[in-house]
Amino acid sequence: MLHFLASWEVFFQTVLVNALLAFSVQIALRAGVFSLAGVGCWAIGAYTLSILNLRGVNTLVAIVAAVAIACVVSYLLSLVLVRLRGLYLGMATVAFNQMVGVAIINGGELTGGEMGLYGVNAPVTTLQLVIVVGVVCLMLWAMERGVLGRAYNIVRDDESLAESLAIDTGSLRRFAFVLSGAIGALGGALNAMLLGIASPTDADFPVIVIALTMVIVGGFHSWRGALIGAALILWLPIGIQSFGIRGMHEWWSVVYGALILGIAVYFPKGLLGGLQKLRSLVDRRAVREATP
């Protein structure tokens, strides 16, 4: 039993940390801001923490620094990219992520170049991770309710309508952008603490793909979707392998890609959205049966 828990603990920790990555993308998408810059900030967070830790800086201070730097960078980036929307914004943030990667590789001694940084010694317990992620979830939950929740809903779907309803869309979008960077950096920092390393692949294309996938599969309208998506995507390779169908585990990547494709097309709001659709279908059925 303890052995079972022990092996699942690593998985659990991974899910928690990656949930933050998913949150960083989700919170931007939820505001209608197609930004994947959270991934670049994940790398910034990982490296800031690692660099500071290797120089003996207190862990908490290092985490705060990582988040703070990401906030500043995100804010500046949001100003630079203010007029962009949709795909263009998305690709610009991908370009930003790649540039972070290039900066890391060319950072010489400071960033360890292609090799990255090793020997980060800042252990973190599962409980601490649960608390951190819990607090972030709480914050996101609060942002999905009441005035702000409704406002973000409209900013996401219909900007000019939002403006006509006295909603400062620019301010809300910037806020989402910066928060996305902050959460991404937090995740990256915790990840570096968990693994003990920071690597240039932290800003790579696959990370971007994974982050996007988690949010698409789970559903980007709510933090719950991102959490579900993170858990599911991380579990999938294990799940497929454990099913043990002959040769099946070799094809997990194909299943993975097909899953993303299928959900993106047929469940655009993710699994969570699928549940909501069900709920409104029930509502409609009830109405139809109620009206004569």
Partner 1 sequence: MTTATAQRPSAPEQAAAAAAPLLVLRDVVVAYGAVLGVDHVSLAVGRGQLCGLIGPNGSGKSSLLAAVSRVGKLSGGSLEFDGQDYSAWSAHRVARLGFARSFQTVRLQEDLTVLENVMVGADKTRLSGATVATWLSSLASRGDEAKSRAAALEALDQVGLADMRDRFPTTLSYGTQRRVEIARCLASKPRLLLLDEPTAGMSSAETDEIAALLMRLRAEGLTQILVAHDLSMIHSVTDHVFALNFGKLVAQGRSTDVANDPVVRAAYIGVVETVEEDSDG
Partner 2 sequence: MLAEQLLVNAAVLGAVLTLFALGLSLTWGALDVLNLAHGAIFVASAWVATRLANSVEVPFVALLVAGMAAGALLAVVAELIAFRPIRRLISNKRQAELSMVAATVGFGFVIDNLVGRATSHQVFSFPIGAFEFRQYDLGVFKAFNIEIIIFATAIIGALLLNYWIMRTRQGMAIRAIAFSPRIAPLLGVKVDNMAALTMAVSGALAGLSGSLMVVWTSGMDISTGHSLLLRAFAIVVLGGVGSVKGCVLAAFLLAAVETGIVAAGYGSMRDAAAFSLIILVLLFRPQGLFGTGRAMRA
Q: Which residues bind partner 2 (CB under 8 A)?
A: 29, 32, 34, 80-81, 83-88, 90-92, 94-96, 98-99, 102, 105-106, 156-157, 159-160, 205, 209, 212-213, 216, 220, 250, 253-254, 256-266, 268-269
Q: Smallest gap, in angstroms, from Cβ of residue 228 to partner 1?
A: 17
Q: Smallest gap, in angstroms, from Cβ of residue 135 to partner 1?
A: 14
Q: Smallest gap, in angstroms, from Cβ of residue 156 to partner 1?
A: 9
> Can residue 135 be called a binding residue for partner 1 (CB under 8 A)?
no
Amino acid making up residue 216? I
Q: Smallest gap, in angstroms, from Cβ of residue 278 to partner 1?
A: 13
Q: Smallest gap, in angstroms, from Cβ of residue 5 to partner 2?
A: 33
DSSP string across 74-119: HHHHHHHTTT--HHHHHHHHHHHHHHHHHHHHT-HHHHTTTT-B--
Which partner, partner 1, partner 2, none, binds residue 96 by CB below 5 to 8 Å per kind? partner 2
> Can residue 164 be called a binding residue for partner 1 (CB under 8 A)?
yes
CB nearer partner 1, residue 190 or residue 228: 228
Which partner, partner 2, partner 1, none, binds residue 50 by CB below 5 to 8 Å per kind? none
**Residue span binding partner 1 (CB under 8 A) among the ranges 3-11, 53-61, 228-236, 276-284:** 276-284
> Can residue 165 be called a binding residue for partner 1 (CB under 8 A)?
yes
> Can residue 240 be called a binding residue for partner 1 (CB under 8 A)?
no
Query: Residues 113, 153, 252, 267: which binds partner 1 (CB under 8 A)?
Result: 153
CB nearer partner 1, residue 14 or residue 222: 222
DSSP string across the chain: -HHHHHHHHHHHHHHHHHHHHHHHHHHHHHTT----HHHHHHHHHHHHHHHHHHTT--HHHHHHHHHHHHHHHHHHHHHHTTT--HHHHHHHHHHHHHHHHHHHHT-HHHHTTTT-B--------HHHHHHHHHHHHHHHHHHTSHHHHHHHHHHHH-HHHHHHTT--HHHHHHHHHHHHHHHHHHHHHHHHHHHS-B-GGGGSHHHHHHHHHHHHHH-TTSHHHHHHHHHHHHHHHHHHHHH--TTGGGGHHHHHHHHHHHHHHH-TTHHHHHHHHHHHHHHHHHHHHH--
Contacts of partner 1 in 78-97 (CB under 8 A): none
Query: Residues 12, 85, 163, 195: which binds partner 1 (CB under 8 A)?
Result: 163
> Can residue 148 be called a binding residue for partner 1 (CB under 8 A)?
yes
Q: What angle do CA 57, 62, 67 make, to 5 degrees?
A: 165
Total chain residues near partner 1 (CB under 8 A): 31
Q: Smallest gap, in angstroms, from Cβ of residue 153 to partner 1?
A: 6
CB nearer partner 2, residue 59 or residue 201: 201
Distance CA 203, CA 116 (A): 12
* Chain contacts with partner 1 (rule: CB under 8 A): 142-143, 146-148, 150-151, 153-154, 157-158, 160-169, 171-172, 174-175, 221, 276, 280, 283-284, 287
